[in-house]
Structure 1
């Protein structure tokens, strides 16, 4: 039920063209052993392999035995994902349960505050970037239906292999691939309820899989969600501005076709179109933080357009298994992203030249279109036995902007970004030792045309726009990595690794925040790149009775990026200050009997930064960047060959930081207070002749709680004081016809 982990370093996460493997892992959260398990073996009831030398993953732009790679990668397999999806359809909640360094889920469409080890992860779908680092609107978590995903690979810590945006790690969602010869049809139905009116979740999906001379996968599905209640049966609040999954409808169309054109060559094309859009049947009821009154919702029509995510991803992949003695992978991709945020009479949108102040209704829209090319060639035993070389070239073009949907005004001007990177990796194995290292050269250019800011309220009450001269910025940055693994005993290994990541601050947030005359894009120091270095050591054991991994890391960026939000105006700004994050993670699994598995994980994260430039690093990272310490425990019981039961509990520890700290002349408080809580979930599945039936119970004991981000966020207001979901039931049925 929880992912069994594998130690791994600086991964790019599995290229779509690489042979897909379904990995079973031991501990429920970060680094342990992953075993290869094909679909056929699963269906035959084959037992898992548990020796590290049999473990193979495809997360380093080539297949690799786990015990030869330093670092940290977690793999959530399809069977483990299925178990979690019996409880919730929220993928960010799955990550929060399964990945120790991942912050708690917001349970909203927005992912603000859902960090990985105190930093922002790069999100990929089959290797195609879904994150929007130029204008991070925190909507990248909803881009596909969970039913099309075969496994999730998570690289914890900065990574140089994938390039831009992976300062905190990589989360790669890998789509399904047909495994069994013939044609099959799968029908998937779900119904969720909390026993109240208008709270239901309805889902229907159909999947077609074919594998003969060619393989093909088609999925169409739709999900409708009502508005739930908390542990005291009060309506949950709607995140009307950043976006909510409640009161929404989501549809997905996914298609993938692959052809083996020879014994060594394969070509594949895939397409996914996902839309999640608010229904507009409910509206927010403001809470009162000081009085402890939670934000809620009532029936009603909100102003403006309902929030939505529209994502379209396409890729063409080619693989050659014997090109000049190595394996080559080439991927050409295109991704179009559009997100609309909720409308309101927000102060930052007011302009007396358009309408009287405090009457102008508007809402923002982010558009980000990407195109890219990824190439990799892996050559084993180059020049001498045991030496493997990996080389490649990546190209990315990103065009992003942020508009106001009601008035057509520009909030963030069109950003034209292009990135070219060459990389190489070398690995040498001799006996019990493996050493791996490499470098990547990033060259990026950013072009911005002249633009005018939105009207800005002055101290005398008047409004003024600022003209900003366009221009370009270019960056050339080297990032590298070095690590080693020592397999010092049967089932035991230790690793040490150093890895660098490369990213940019939120360029759009910088440009829309200009508040002075004579500014030009070329002079904005805040656009300098972020280089994060990650040092990590760990030890792993895997044997017949279970496995465990313990690791400690230290991550630093001399010129980091922190977003500070004014609680009164709601306006965000970028502070370029150093950031240091350190932590410890443990994951273990015990299998005392073939029908029982117990897992436990723990993660502690300590991040610090400075209040302003040249100030000491004595400020704890806030909830926007860092999650609380976390412990997860789970037990799985295979009650019979057809019935499985699992129980899991997650405890978030209290966190009280930055007491009495204020900035912005005392107008903005940085103090955060979070009172921890524990949530338990239950799942049951029954495989029968009529299909698989499932029952999931989220928040089993109907705990009343306020979510971590809602409690701790120092810029929170009466609009976003949200309770978490109360007890919720999810019934499911799935049947495959062959």
Structure 2
């Protein structure tokens, strides 16, 4: 059964068949699907957020094949199974693949998230973007009890030395009301983060351009209105707004890679507007669990994001224009603006007269308009790009031999058009005129698999699935410096189609919860981020192949309330690095494009009002081999341990957590494996920090 109560696959639930993973677009239980699926429940998510502070960090801590986060606002280079995951909230895509600002991990406060659904590997279940998998955040549900209910949270955080500027805090509240068929939920969360300190007691450097979660303020708002229609129908209107703003109190001090001194920070006034992230979302849905004997789901949504990046005078070649400033000291900063409007509809039921066969049909529509502007001089860096997708799909699941054997498969037909008008690049790209176009992409994306479950709790499966995304078109279009380019024929903006083949075995019986999965995937024209001489990462379209092994083991010990778990992931990725690509992979993917191997160990104890967890992540050393290799980018590895304590009283729960319990000094994975000559991007990881919290439900 591809289900776990958390991403360490620790806990077996007797009611697991009742759990619906909405990201899978079916009400069938996870053990009926040929997929690797994890569900991080609310208790586990809250526990991890007390340790790490964000949903993305929580997912990364628990999932060995997810890359270590950068501990920054930008998640550029963070991956699941070596490819970019699709972040979604209630199925609404948060990613902006046309010009990937990599802010999609910070679009809602985890206080409003009821669970996180993880679907591993390339798939097209949610449309564009799921080449590494899907990270779907399901928000708080409708209230169950009549009248008023809710919860509150007060939380404080500090670095190891309890420095004044390292202090942070969070307050959040959620109020719910139910009266017969009508219910309403409204909530707000406010958080102030101090600066971060490393294990040696130094301030961690700031990436003022890409953005920071440290030295920032966040306000997240959430509302939900619902109405029950008949016995099985329901209308929901859900709205959220999230904004994270940097305070702009510090400037970076270069480190020294040769001596091992990391980038730091001092008080100062950086130029321009501090980096920020704002996301607004509204969704209207109607569902009916028994419409004509089947399950009907529909959703209309609007999503808008505005990602502001910090400003700079360097790199000189990027924003400079001698016609505006002949001294080449021109200051500028960029801002991504993206707007999505879409709709989803699906219907699922067992075939009358052939109840062993469950079929799902549906249709998705998505439009996405994205551009990147230079807001200090009001210039267009990335021209407005319009994405449109029409996608009918069908899935079938056949249960044989009393559900001991299942065959599953389906197809999604993607009809995609990308529209870009004529434009002229910046001076740094030669003020090149580019003829716009409407490149199209039409393809049938297939999936299929077989599931064998000879006895309850033991299953094996094999599957094949195709997923797709569009390349970071913004990075491509803004860098065109050759005349007479016609975007209709410019192959570099052809969509990325990747596949995922995997075989897995899972055992969930008695005290044992174990799984083993082997997967491999490839894409003929993948997307790699490769630094140019100016330190800016450009997109290159090359064949990539990735394979990996995931092992998980959880055991409930004879000691009442004690559970131990282990998780391991090995990833191997290569690409075609030849100057004239020959379609054969020959060089390892570097740290910008793939995560290190990792071993997770954890122990949980829960009895009565007391619960505790201690977890350790071993990020294993790695060298990158192949025709294109810089030994300075090899990874030395590091080990981090976290701890969590909770005591429940009738007046609420008290929690105390420590991240990086042993105050390990280390250089984070992203900094250690990229830009080996950039001393402003040599960031240490966060040292020991504490979080004390109180939460109350009423």
Q: Which residue of the partner structure matches residue 731 of structure 1?
A: 692
Deviations 1:294-346, CA, capped at 9 Å, x for gaps:
11111111111000001001000001222232111110000000001111012
1:356-435 alignment, distance < 5 Å: 356-431=326-401, 432-435=404-407
Question: Does the 8 A contact of 1:658 with 1:671 survive in 2?
Answer: no
Q: Which residue of the partner structure matches residue 183 of structure 1?
A: 148
Q: Which residue of the partner structure matches residue 222 of structure 1?
A: 190
Which one of 43, 62, 86 corresponds to residue 79 of structure 1?
43
1:304-703 alignment, distance < 5 Å: 304-346=272-314, 347=316, 348-431=318-401, 432-456=404-428, 464-566=430-532, 568-593=533-558, 594-612=560-578, 613-614=581-582, 616-638=584-606, 640-658=607-625, 661=628, 669=630, 672-703=633-664
Q: Which range moved further: 192-201 or 434-443? A: 192-201
Q: Which range moved further: 327-336 or 707-716? A: 707-716
Change (3 A) 1:364 1:716: farther
Which one of 239, 243, 254 corresponds to residue 222 of structure 2?
254
Secondary structure, aligned partner of 2:516: strand
Query: Offset of 1:288 from its aligned partner?
Result: 2.1
Q: Which residue of the partner structure matches residue 20 of structure 1?
A: none
Gaps of 5+ in 2: none
Quote the Cα distance in structure 2 between the aligned partners of 1:572 and 1:727. Answer: 32
Deviations 1:119-177, CA, capped at 9 Å, x for gaps:
01111001101000111111111001110000000111011221111111111000011
Question: Does the 8 A contact of 1:33 with 1:55 survive in 2?
Answer: no
Quote the Cα distance in structure 1 between the aligned partners of 2:80 and 2:208. Answer: 25
Query: Offset of 1:574 from its aligned partner?
Result: 2.1
Question: Does the 8 A contact of 2:395 with 2:409 survive in 1?
Answer: yes
Query: Offset of 1:383 from its aligned partner?
Result: 4.1
Deviations 1:175-229, CA, capped at 9 Å, x for gaps:
0113430311322111000111200111111110223322222111110011121
Q: Which residue of the partner structure matches residue 149 of structure 1?
A: 113
Query: Offset of 1:592 from its aligned partner?
Result: 1.4
Change (3 A) 1:330 1:279: same
Question: Does the 8 A contact of 1:318 with 1:329 survive in 2?
Answer: yes
Quote the Cα distance in structure 1 between the aligned partners of 2:50 and 2:494. Answer: 44
Quote the Cα distance in structure 2 between the aligned partners of 1:34 and 1:480. Answer: 31
Gaps of 5+ in 1: 1-5, 9-24, 36-48, 458-463, 663-668
Quote the Cα distance in structure 1 between the aligned partners of 2:577 and 2:435. Answer: 29
Question: Does the 8 A contact of 2:418 with 2:439 survive in 1?
Answer: yes
Quote the Cα distance in structure 1 between the aligned partners of 2:18 and 2:193. Answer: 43
Quote the Cα distance in structure 1 between the aligned partners of 2:12 and 2:440. Answer: 41
What is the count of residue pairs matched by the alignment?
Answer: 687
Quote the Cα distance in structure 2 between the aligned partners of 1:716 and 1:553. Answer: 35
Query: Offset of 1:97 from its aligned partner?
Result: 1.1
Quote the Cα distance in structure 1 between the aligned partners of 2:237 and 2:49. Answer: 27
Which one of 166, 178, 190 corresponds to residue 199 of structure 1?
166
Quote the Cα distance in structure 1 between the aligned partners of 2:204 and 2:229. Answer: 53
Change (3 A) 1:56 1:164: closer
Q: Which residue of the partner structure matches residue 39 of structure 1?
A: none
Quote the Cα distance in structure 2 between the aligned partners of 1:728 and 1:470. Answer: 51
Quote the Cα distance in structure 2 between the aligned partners of 1:614 and 1:513. Answer: 24
Quote the Cα distance in structure 2 between the aligned partners of 1:356 and 1:29. Answer: 57
Question: Does the 8 A contact of 1:468 with 1:517 survive in 2?
Answer: yes
Q: Which range moved further: 491-500 or 608-617? A: 608-617
Query: Offset of 1:470 from its aligned partner?
Result: 1.1
Question: Does the 8 A contact of 2:675 with 2:681 survive in 1?
Answer: no
Q: Which range moved further: 59-68 or 150-159? A: 59-68
Quote the Cα distance in structure 2 between the aligned partners of 1:687 and 1:676. Answer: 37
Question: Does the 8 A contact of 2:23 with 2:134 survive in 1?
Answer: no
Quote the Cα distance in structure 2 between the aligned partners of 1:398 and 1:701. Answer: 45
| Mapped pair 1:7 → 2:16 | no
| Mapped pair 1:721 → 2:682 | yes
Q: Which residue of the partner structure matches residue 16 of structure 1?
A: none
Secondary structure, aligned partner of 1:590: strand
| Mapped pair 1:124 → 2:88 | yes
Quote the Cα distance in structure 1 between the aligned partners of 2:435 and 2:57. Answer: 43
Which one of 685, 704, 709 corresponds to residue 670 of structure 2?
709
Question: Does the 8 A contact of 2:23 with 2:126 survive in 1?
Answer: no
Secondary structure, aligned partner of 2:519: strand
Query: Offset of 1:379 from its aligned partner?
Result: 1.2
Q: Which range moved further: 612-621 or 100-109? A: 612-621
Which one of 181, 197, 200 corresponds to residue 232 of structure 1?
200
Q: Which range moved further: 364-373 or 153-162? A: 153-162
Question: Does the 8 A contact of 1:122 with 1:165 survive in 2?
Answer: yes
Query: Offset of 1:26 from its aligned partner?
Result: 5.3
Quote the Cα distance in structure 1 between the aligned partners of 2:20 and 2:119. Answer: 16
Secondary structure, aligned partner of 2:520: strand
Question: Does the 8 A contact of 2:457 with 2:509 survive in 1?
Answer: yes
Secondary structure, aligned partner of 1:424: strand
Q: Which residue of the partner structure matches residue 127 of structure 2?
A: 163
Secondary structure, aligned partner of 1:124: strand
TM superposition score normalised by structure 1: 0.91
Query: Offset of 1:654 from its aligned partner?
Result: 0.2
Question: Does the 8 A contact of 1:345 with 1:360 survive in 2?
Answer: yes
Query: Offset of 1:286 from its aligned partner?
Result: 1.6
Secondary structure, aligned partner of 2:671: helix
Secondary structure, aligned partner of 1:674: coil
Secondary structure, aligned partner of 2:31: helix
Question: Does the 8 A contact of 1:308 with 1:339 survive in 2?
Answer: yes
TM superposition score normalised by structure 2: 0.96
Deviations 1:203-260, CA, capped at 9 Å, x for gaps:
1111102233222221111100111211010111111111101111000110011110
Quote the Cα distance in structure 1 between the aligned partners of 2:5 and 2:125. Answer: 25
What CA RMSD, in Å, does the superposition of the two structures yield over aligned residues?
1.7
Change (3 A) 1:660 1:551: closer
Secondary structure, aligned partner of 1:84: helix
Deviations 1:16-56, CA, capped at 9 Å, x for gaps:
xxxxxxxxx357436x8763xxxxxxxxxxxxx17x75665
Question: Does the 8 A contact of 1:660 with 1:671 survive in 2?
Answer: no
Quote the Cα distance in structure 1 between the aligned partners of 2:21 and 2:577. Answer: 42
Change (3 A) 1:79 1:311: same
Change (3 A) 1:34 1:501: farther
Secondary structure, aligned partner of 1:86: helix
Deviations 1:663-720, CA, capped at 9 Å, x for gaps:
xxxxxx5862111111000100111122111100000000001101110124661111
